[in-house]
Amino acid sequence: MRRRWCSAPRWSSPAVQLLVLSAGTLCALLPLCRRLPFSYFYLRSVYLDAMSEEALQDGFRRGQDALRFWRGVPASPSGFRDVTPRPELLVAVVTARRREGGELHYLLRVMQQLRVLLEDCGPRRCAEVLVCDVEGGPLDNPDAARLEGHFQVIRRTPQEQERDRGRVNTFEREKRDYVFCLRRAWQLAAPRNLLVLEDDALPGRDFFAVVRDLLGRSFAAHTLYVKLYHPERLQRYWNPEPYRLLEWVGLGVVGASALLLALPRWNPCALAFTPCPAHLLLLTLYFMAAAELLGRHYLLEARRLSPQLYAVSPATECCTPAMLFPGNASQRAAAYLEGVACSKGNAKDTALYRLARARPGEHAHSVEPNLVAHIGAYSSVRPNPPRPKLL
């Protein structure tokens, strides 16, 4: 008696067809994805140097454009410099002088984008915005000084500067700068919600629409912070985060189910798959593998269709370019950070992540896809290579 595999006429035909389908998928995806940095198919040795150099040149052009923009704009044309008390949302942009890469003018680019987004809000302003300059004075950070006629800029007093930035390591100094901005922004305006951007975090076009939607969701009232950025290279499905594994399996099951349901109505290749558990399992694995090889980062982009589609999940450890602190959570976060000493291996992002997990009743979340693009090729606090790479 001839063995049968599910409903296929021969037990081997679905397996053979799956192999052919997999090979065809690889041949089709490989050429398309070879220039996608976050895909497994990315040809790093071929494209990384050229793409990195292209990104630096593009960053330089955009930085010079932003410099010309701020030189040509009259001071405070729309009253952005006046921060009203108790705003619904206050955006504090933390900035420090970069010893390298200053000609890319990250801060000017970020503030230009924020200005455009604020003007798009209409008569009712989306948020109040200020700049928190952690350097000693206007001469130490020319870009921040250039913005003083357009936005409110807050700095330490000389006494605070000496106290907070004495003989401490780079990671502790960075943490103290962050805490200073959290404290001073709250003292200045007592906002209902505080959003902290680092000066190389460029907001997307739907930035304020998504933030408004997030603050309207029920979880926001019970969270310490919401991360608005996570490095794309760390967004893969093959990851210790349990929710990503569940998302990965769910994607595979949905893809496999859709294919099995469609085959009876449209099957030009005469595929032998039928709606049985074995075929469902094989096709689920196929769709899971294809999604991982393509890159989860690129699939997440489909969520940008609507603010309601952005996914909220438990917070990941790295990093802090864009952090939303609902309610008075920013002051709890500042108090937590003041109680720890940061060092290599325990920078402010790691410390805050561990503190949120260790405190009973505290929760922290991340949003996907990212609401900001990390444009900072050169770090303001860490050593930089002569020509930074994309990855």
3-state helix, strand, coil in the chain (%, to 5): 50, 10, 40
Task: List domains and CATH numbers for the chain.
Answer: 52-224+318-374 (3.90.550)
Mean pLDDT lowest for which of 72-76, 171-175, 313-317, 359-363? 72-76
Judged against a pLDDT cut of 90, whether residue 88 lies above it is answered with yes
Judged against a pLDDT cut of 70, whether residue 382 lies above it is answered with yes
Q: 131 or 28: whose pLDDT is higher?
A: 131
C-alpha neighbours within 13 Å on the C-beta side of residue 164: 20
Judged against a pLDDT cut of 50, whether residue 108 lies above it is answered with yes
Judged against a pLDDT cut of 80, whether residue 13 lies above it is answered with no
Encode pLDDT of 283-304 as tens digits: 999 999 999 999 999 999 999 9
Supply the pLDDT for residue 262.
85
Write the CB contacts of 118 (distance below 8 Å, at least 6 apart in sequence): 78, 80, 125, 126, 127, 129
CA-to-CA distance for 155 and 184, rounded, in angstroms?
9
Supply the pLDDT for residue 325.
98
Q: How confident is the model at residue 1 (pLDDT cuts 50, 70, 90)?
A: very low
Judged against a pLDDT cut of 50, whether residue 4 lies above it is answered with no
Tell me whether residue 36 is exposed, middle or buried, using C-beta atoms within 10 angstroms of its C-beta: 0 to 12, 13 to 18, 19 or more. Answer: middle
Residues of the chain with pLDDT > 70, as a percent, come to 94
Q: Which amino acid is at 20?
A: V
Encode pLDDT of 208-242 as tens digits: 999 999 999 999 989 999 999 999 999 999 887 88
Q: How far is CA 248 from the centre of its chain?
A: 20
Q: How confident is the model at residue 78 (pLDDT cuts 50, 70, 90)?
A: low
Average pLDDT over residues 110-115: 96
Q: What is the Cα Rg of the chain in Å?
A: 25
Mean pLDDT lowest for which of 62-71, 93-102, 193-202, 208-217? 93-102
Tell which residue, 91, 69, 97, 109, has the closest CA to residue 373: 109
Residues of the chain with pLDDT > 90, as a percent, come to 66
Judged against a pLDDT cut of 70, whether residue 6 lies above it is answered with no
Supply the pLDDT for residue 87.
95
pTM (global) more than 0.85? yes
pLDDT, averaged across the chain:
89
Judged against a pLDDT cut of 70, whether residue 377 lies above it is answered with yes
Supply the pLDDT for residue 12.
47
Supply the pLDDT for residue 76.
63
pLDDT winner (highest mean) among 80-89, 106-115, 263-272, 377-386: 106-115
Judged against a pLDDT cut of 50, whether residue 8 lies above it is answered with no
Supply the pLDDT for residue 113.
97
Q: 136 or 359: whose pLDDT is higher?
A: 359
